[in-house]
Amino acid sequence: MAEHPRDFLEKNVTLPNGLKVHYYEWPGPRPNLVLLHPSSGYGRMWEGTANALGPRFHVYGLDQRGHGDSGRPDGDYSAEEYAQDLHLFFQQVGIDKAIVAGQSLGGRVGQVFAAVYPGEIQGLGLVGGPHISNFFPTREEVIKVLVSSHRMLESPTEFPSREAALGYLRSARPRDQEPSLRHRLEYNFVPAGGGVAVKYDKVRVALGLAHMADDLRKYAARATCPVAILRGSHSSELTIAQAKEIAGCWKSAVVIDVEGDYALQMENPAGLAQALSSFADQAVKD
């Protein structure tokens, strides 16, 4: 599988709801593959995966609302709102149907999208796996969600230098590898006041994180496309037993282990690309 850099396009489009969406596009043949980042993420974080896939997919990586260079209007920042954005994006850029894969926030968006717009999705990949709290919102899980949301709301957004920002990333994201942290610094920060600032709106991100306690089982029950839970083999987020239990919420879901922890698109893009390719072959065939 090719891993050399692929040429890509960097574009903006304004949706009928007024949202400006910034996105990256790696041209290729069908099927289309739409990749959705996690909370505080950015569309270009998928470039390693796009490179590893080689030229066999037409790949899109979006900066979702509140993130990157996309707009950050008022809204509830729920998976339902993000899924509507995705539907409008498909219409605006001319995507009739696609395989959709996302991590964390992106996975929640994909789950709603698969249920609400079944004619537009050929398969759903949940990178790192879905959140337990979206399927079993126990009191303990809800507390974790609210703590995560509050932590984001209280997090710093401006730093006096790139070195200071990198130091913060190292402490805030201890599980991330150094190349991943430097990629994030390069493409998810902008110059500001002699230093740098994050691209995402932390208030919008915190609001979106609070929706990790929303019960998404009703959407899983409605989805008809194939689903792959792409679980990190070393993940502490989701055990294999939990993944299999959650997979039972869909009509057609499989659990695929990929070498790595959680942010597979950054840790092991080649392994993720291989898993996505195999899943896509089966999903398109079905």
How many angstroms separate the Cα of 186 from the Cα of each of 92, 118, 183, 241, 272? 29, 36, 5, 37, 22
* pLDDT at res. 151: 98
Q: Extract the runs of DSSP E, i.e. beta strands, from 188-244.
A: 189-192, 195-198, 227-232
- Whole-number Å distance between alpha carbons of 276 and 86: 20
Helix (H, G, I), strand (E, B) or coil at 32: strand
**Class of the CATH domain delimited by 9-135+214-285:** alpha beta
* pLDDT at res. 285: 79
* pLDDT at res. 4: 80
* pLDDT at res. 3: 65
Pick out the chain residues at pLDDT < 70.
1-3
pTM: 0.97
CB-based contacts of 126, cutoff 8 Å, min separation 6: 101, 102, 103, 107, 110, 111, 227, 228, 229, 230
Read off the pLDDT of residues 242-253 as tens digits, 9 standing for 90 and up: 999 999 999 999
* pLDDT at res. 236: 85
